[in-house]
Amino acid sequence: MKKLLKYLADYKKETVLAPLFKLLEAGFELLVPLVVASIIDRGIADRDMGYIGRMGLVLVLLAVVGLAASVTAQYFAAKAAVGFSTKLRQALFDHIMSLDFTNMDKAGTSAMITRMTSDINQVQSGVNLVLRLFLRSPVIVFGATIMAFTVDGKSALIFAVALPLLAVVVFGVMVWTMPLYKKVQAGLDRVLGLTRENLTGVRVIRAFHREALEEERFREATKDLAASQVFVGKISAMMNPVTYVIVNGAVMALLYTGALQVNVGTLTQGEVVALVNYMSQILVELVKLANLIITVTKALACADRVAGVLEIRNGEQTAELSRKSRPDGETAPFLEFDHVSLTYAQAGAEALHDICFTVNRGETVGIIGGTGSGKTSLIHLIPGFYPATEGAVRLEGQDIREISEDKLRSRVGVVPQKAVLFKGTVRSNLQWGRPDASEEEMWEAIDLAQAREVVEGKAGGLDAEIAQGGSNLSGGQRQRLTIARALVRRPEILILDDSASALDYATDAKLRQALQSLKGKTTTFLVSQRASSIRHADRIIVLDDGEMAGIGTHEELMETCSVYQEIYFSQYPEEQKKAVSEGK
């Protein structure tokens, strides 16, 4: 929690004034039993109605001033707590967005969502209650005890016995429940993960008729969460009855000893009432303090989880920067993979091993290989989504790890394997590529991506509504718009990660022909399962189980690379028959 307190820095005034006004309210509240005792001993005993009226007005004044102080403290506490949570949530979101893919994979999407929502809400509640009650309740408890000693020292010894017992109960429950609340929040992560998985994969679940099994999985997870919550709730619930037993026992002892002292004349009836009122105040405040401790315990557990995300740093899996000098007069290639290997966090084996090749500016490079061969892993290294664990990726001779993220990403346009669009309009989605793009530039990118019919076919054209995730578009339409979004940026490096898989062969062919107009201006990486899509690339990289099986043109690979031949002939079996008949 200490690491998060810096987000309260802009609310120093509120964090000071809220407890101060609560202390002011507590001070007025401690005076009430003395005023009541005075009314009983002087006003009622002497039947002095004027005195009773004056003291009654004093009670009203104490109530009004106390209420004003309480409302003011509430305002300052709420302002500080809400402002704190707003800044913390923004800082957490900014930090999550800055994490590389390695750390995002380790943390998990569902856990991040829980930290952003439930955990920060719990921390906000904790801050609010601490500012309001953390000083007020102890001041009332100890103040009531001190005031009891001013009334009667002998009777106040009962307070001295009750308070340590109450402290043992309160802090014992807190120490016991804190780790249990962390377990509850972990269970909430699991339930959220299952929920997210089922909502995003609902079509697959229904297609395989797995509704009953998924319902059972969710039921088990919620049962485990409920069992954890009930268990910790039972422990927390023990606090109130145990404190009530101790306090009510103390009240009984006060009434007994007070009655004896009133009988012998060493204590007045008003003083006995004052002592009982002070004990009642302690009871009320301890109930509040118990609830405060439960909330603060949850808040501290959640604060540790939020701080844990903020402590995640990029580059933990990064290899040492390679400083290889070049011979005099040798020009650095535009893009170079220098003995690059990649191992994902907590993975048992390398995803890529010893990848070496260079690419000149303006070339078109095809990447092909079997499923799981490392194609996507390879192109994710170019924009720095994952750091190379060995070797170096260099752009114009500079290690990309030395280039700022903004500068590197501004030079790269990526069309991911899964087409993702955002809720808004066609225009707003294209502006993700370049916010200041003109309509003419947008239409130019749309034409290159073969998406004109998609946009013109929608009411509103560029201002046509796009549903969340692009759910009101077909797979091919989403892919073409994501390609257009990348092209609007006019990137130096364009990465198409199997981004035409949902397109028919005719549209795919038109797209490849349109991309030829970028030749010489944009360095293009085409990742595809189709040999036809990368056949005319300047060079083709063939991957097999994370290693380079070959590199060259289509013709060269057909002569030298058995892996490429296998892929090509599996898609064009008639050419294999022809090659066999010709004795090749």
How does residue 316 score in pLDDT terms, banded at 50, 70 and 90? very low
- Provide the domain limits for residue 532: 360-389+400-555
Q: At what angle do helices 269-310 and 12-38 cross, to 10 degrees?
A: 160
Q: Are 137 and 292 in contact (CB under 8 A)?
A: yes
Residue 331 lies in a domain: no
Residue 80 lies in a domain: yes
> DSSP secondary structure string, 269-319?
HHHHHHHHHHHHHHHHHHHHHHHHHHHHHHHHHHHHHHHHHHT--TTTTPP
> DSSP secondary structure string, 374-428?
SHHHHHHTTTTSS--SEEEEEETTEEGGGS-HHHHHHTEEEE-SS----SEEHHH
Q: Which class for 543: exposed (0-12), middle (13-18), buried (19 or more C-beta within 10 A)?
A: buried
Task: Please give the pLDDT value at position 71.
Answer: 93
How does residue 142 score in pLDDT terms, banded at 50, 70 and 90? confident
Residue 121 lies in a domain: yes
Q: Are 502 and 472 in contact (CB under 8 A)?
A: no
Q: State whether 11 and 109 are in the same domain.
A: yes
Q: State whether 301 and 409 are in the same domain.
A: no
Task: Please give the pLDDT value at position 577.
Answer: 62
Query: How do 493-497 and 412-415 pair as beta strands?
Result: parallel
Q: How many CA atoms lie within 13 A of 496 on its CB side?
A: 32
Task: Please give the pLDDT value at position 319.
Answer: 45
Task: Please give the pLDDT value at position 300.
Answer: 84
> DSSP secondary structure string, 230-265?
HHHHHHHHTHHHHHHHHHHHHHHHHHHHHHHHHHHT
Q: What is the dihedral of CA 482, 488, 490, 495, to 10 degrees?
A: 0
CA distances from 273 to 40, 58, 251, 544 (A): 9, 18, 11, 87
Please tell me the distance from the alpha carbon of residue 125 to that of residue 114, in angstroms, as a whole number. Answer: 16
Q: Are 181 and 122 in contact (CB under 8 A)?
A: no
Task: Please give the pLDDT value at position 145.
Answer: 82
**Measured on CA atoms in the order 408, 409, 412, 418, is the torsion positive or negative?**
positive
CATH of the domain at 468: 3.40.50.300
Q: State whether 102 and 205 are in the same domain.
A: yes
- pLDDT at residue 551 is higher than 90: yes
Q: State whether 286 and 407 are in the same domain.
A: no
Q: State whether 384 and 292 are in the same domain.
A: no
- pLDDT at residue 581 is higher than 70: no
Look over the chain and give the mean of its residue pLDDT values, rounded to a whole number. Answer: 84
Task: Please give the pLDDT value at position 130.
Answer: 87
Section 398-425 average pLDDT: 88
CA 108 to chain CA mean position, Å: 9
Of the chain, the percentage scoring pLDDT greater than 70 comes to 95
Please tell me the distance from the alpha carbon of residue 550 to that of residue 543, in angstroms, as a whole number. Answer: 7
CATH of the domain at 106: 1.20.1560.10
Q: State whether 178 and 292 are in the same domain.
A: yes
- pLDDT, tens digit (0-9, with 9 covering 90-100), for 470-494: 888 888 888 899 999 999 988 999 9
Section 333-359 average pLDDT: 88
CB within 8 Å of 466: residues ≥ 6 apart? 421, 422, 423, 424, 425, 426, 428, 429, 472, 473
How does residue 318 score in pLDDT terms, banded at 50, 70 and 90? very low
Of the chain, the percentage scoring pLDDT greater than 90 comes to 23
Section 372-384 average pLDDT: 90
Q: State whether 256 and 112 are in the same domain.
A: yes
CA 215 to chain CA mean position, Å: 26
Q: State whether 99 and 187 are in the same domain.
A: yes
CA distances from 231 to 184, 185, 235, 302 (A): 10, 14, 7, 18
Q: Are 369 and 356 in contact (CB under 8 A)?
A: no
Residue 334 lies in a domain: no
Q: How many CA atoms lie within 13 A of 513 on its CB side?
A: 8
Task: Please give the pLDDT value at position 498.
Answer: 83
CB within 8 Å of 532: residues ≥ 6 apart? 505, 508, 509, 571
Please tell me the distance from the alpha carbon of residue 161 to that of residue 176, in angstroms, as a whole number. Answer: 23
How does residue 360 score in pLDDT terms, banded at 50, 70 and 90? very high
Q: State whether 263 and 114 are in the same domain.
A: yes
Q: Which two tokens stand for residue 524?
A: 């293009």
- pLDDT at residue 61 is higher than 80: yes
Task: Please give the pLDDT value at position 579.
Answer: 61
Section 334-360 average pLDDT: 88
How does residue 371 score in pLDDT terms, banded at 50, 70 and 90? confident
Please tell me the distance from the alpha carbon of residue 81 to that of residue 7, in angstroms, as a whole number. Answer: 10
- pLDDT, tens digit (0-9, with 9 covering 90-100), for 394-407: 999 899 988 888 88
Domains of the chain: total: 2
Residue 448 lies in a domain: yes
Task: Please give the pLDDT value at position 330.
Answer: 61
How does residue 576 score in pLDDT terms, banded at 50, 70 and 90? low
Task: Please give the pLDDT value at position 341.
Answer: 92
Q: State whether 298 and 385 are in the same domain.
A: no
DSSP 323: -
Please tell me the distance from the alpha carbon of residue 41 to that of residue 379, in angstroms, as a whole number. Answer: 88
Please tell me the distance from the alpha carbon of residue 506 to that of residue 512, in angstroms, as a whole number. Answer: 10
Task: Please give the pLDDT value at position 317.
Answer: 42
Q: Are 350 and 342 in contact (CB under 8 A)?
A: yes
- pLDDT at residue 103 is higher than 80: no
Please tell me the distance from the alpha carbon of residue 296 to that of residue 186, in angstroms, as a whole number. Answer: 18
Please tell me the distance from the alpha carbon of residue 335 to that of residue 520, in angstroms, as a whole number. Answer: 14
How does residue 203 score in pLDDT terms, banded at 50, 70 and 90? confident
Q: State whether 223 and 287 are in the same domain.
A: yes
Residue 112 lies in a domain: yes
Residue 205 lies in a domain: yes
- pLDDT, tens digit (0-9, with 9 covering 90-100), for 165-178: 887 887 787 778 87
- pLDDT at residue 325 is higher than 80: no
Residue 293 lies in a domain: yes
Q: State whether 527 and 430 are in the same domain.
A: yes
Q: Are 335 and 384 in contact (CB under 8 A)?
A: no
Q: Which residue has the higher pLDDT, 237 or 110?
A: 237
